[in-house]
Amino acid sequence: MSLNFDPSSCVRASSKFSQCTKCVDICPVSTIKIVDNIPAFTPSSCIECGGCVGSCPTESFSLSDFSAINFFFGALEKKEHKFACKTELPCLSVLSVEHLIALALGSDEPLILDAKACACGGDSGVLNNQIEANIEEANFVLSSFSSKQILVDSLTDITEQEHEESVRDRRSFLSLKGAMKSKQDFDKAVEADELKKFELDSEVIMGIKDKKIPDKRKLLFSLLKRQKRPEVYEVLATEDVGFTSQKFVDASCTNCQICYRICPTSALSSDMKFSVINFDAMMCVKCHLCHDVCEPNAIQLQPGFEIKEFFEPKQRTLAKFDIQRCNECGNYFTYTGGVKECFRCKIEEDEAMELHENAKKMDF
């Protein structure tokens, strides 16, 4: 098992203004660092818990031998509904809230997770806290439209000593270096000890342009489609839903186009003339990038998240703009009244006026 990172999916690659540190915050061994605004990590320090995999809103991190989607379908097929770390999955923290909701909805029996037995992160407690928070959020969201619930129970009798051993196990592959047989093994081990940095090369930049809906969102969506619609749709407090959001755009928006051009999933979009800002909550992964890049802070979270969105997803128009041709250059621009002149032509004209005034003063 090894940790992989796709920089083109990371919101930090899209903008230097991104503040996302979810992968850094969850890593129990602090091996993920932000270098030149992009996550970097030292493979040999990684304990392969998958905490970053479960926490990344855009699925930029992955584990080579674990797929949450395969795990999901495997569990359904085998009718398994009880899970603990290091059984069928590396650590419960590899599962996001969306995975947990999907598992609970897909399982005939109540989903039982042995959250308290997680010792994957040693004494840091960061993974346990995240697992508990994920279960709490999943149960809270589930309770708004389903009777399904995730239960927390002890499935294994892990003693404290076994806890320590389990952490040691995770680190033990480092000692395998002693058993290296070939130059290739040696090179790999040396490489694993070095900080793996990622650059924004042309391939990454091409990848950023591809808008991607994470698999976990597709999975959740397909499970929700099979659910009975609740009679009454609840509205949940925005701060209690961490994986999606509803938004509005206030009057300070300048239609600079950045948010809808940069949104990694196309939750925010526009039309050919850039005359609207459309928003599709079921595609939003709450990565916060649109908020981070919006200079006037015009894009805002709605105070409540409407569960109706899960069952009747709808694209909403958050803002409309009057797009006109500039009288000077003929290009389209967002017209806000007055002379029909685009921002660039207006600046040029102001500069020309200033030069003219200065020249006049010098003549005297």
Residues that bind ligand SF4 (CB under 6 A): 10-12, 20, 22-23, 39, 55-58, 60-61, 249, 253-259, 263-265, 267-268, 284-290, 293-294, 296, 298-299
**Minimum distance, C-beta of residue 309 to ligand SF4, in the bound complex (Å):** 13
Q: Which is nearer to ligand SF4, 22 or 216 (CB)?
A: 22
Give the C-alpha separation, 212 to 266, whole Å.
8
Give the C-alpha separation, 326 to 340, whole Å.
5
Q: Which is nearer to ligand SF4, 229 or 344 (CB)?
A: 344
Q: Please check whether residue 158 is in contact with residue 119, taking contact to mean a CB–CB distance below 8 angstroms.
A: yes
**Minimum distance, C-beta of residue 224 to ligand SF4, in the bound complex (Å):** 18
Determine the distance from the C-alpha atom of residue 130 to the mean position of all C-alpha atoms in its chain, rounded to a whole number.
Answer: 15
The H or E element containing residue 85 is none
**Minimum distance, C-beta of residue 264 to ligand SF4, in the bound complex (Å):** 6
DSSP string of 207-254, one letter each residue:
HHHS----HHHHHHHHHHHTSPPPSS--EEEGGG--S---EEE-TT--
Fill in the DSSP letter of residue 175. G
**Minimum distance, C-beta of residue 52 to ligand SF4, in the bound complex (Å):** 7
Q: Which is nearer to ligand SF4, 86 or 286 (CB)?
A: 286
Sign for the pseudo-dihedral over CA of 52, 53, 56, 59: positive
Q: Which is nearer to ligand SF4, 75 or 262 (CB)?
A: 262
Closest CA to 52 of 3, 117, 103, 1: 3
Give the C-alpha separation, 155 to 115, whole Å.
9
Determine the length of the chain: 364
**Minimum distance, C-beta of residue 277 to ligand SF4, in the bound complex (Å):** 6
**Minimum distance, C-beta of residue 292 to ligand SF4, in the bound complex (Å):** 8
**Minimum distance, C-beta of residue 59 to ligand SF4, in the bound complex (Å):** 8
**Minimum distance, C-beta of residue 132 to ligand SF4, in the bound complex (Å):** 19
Q: Which is nearer to ligand SF4, 23 or 101 (CB)?
A: 23
**Minimum distance, C-beta of residue 293 to ligand SF4, in the bound complex (Å):** 6
Q: Which is nearer to ligand SF4, 2 or 149 (CB)?
A: 2
Q: Please check whether residue 92 is in contact with residue 125, taking contact to mean a CB–CB distance below 8 angstroms.
A: no
**Minimum distance, C-beta of residue 11 to ligand SF4, in the bound complex (Å):** 4
Q: How many CB atoms lie within 10 A of CB 23?
A: 24
Q: Which is nearer to ligand SF4, 63 or 119 (CB)?
A: 63
Which residue matches tokens 């493979």? 43
Give the C-alpha separation, 119 to 109, whole Å.
26
User: Following CA atoms 33, 36, 38, 42 in sequence, which dihedral angle do they give, to the nearest 10 degrees?
Assistant: -40
Q: Which is nearer to ligand SF4, 89 or 249 (CB)?
A: 249
Q: Which is nearer to ligand SF4, 5 or 83 (CB)?
A: 5
Instruction: List the beta strands (DSSP E) in 94-226.
Output: 111-113, 150-152
Give the C-alpha separation, 170 to 316, whole Å.
47
Q: Which is nearer to ligand SF4, 51 or 106 (CB)?
A: 51
Give the C-alpha separation, 257 to 321, whole Å.
11
Give the C-alpha separation, 120 to 127, whole Å.
7
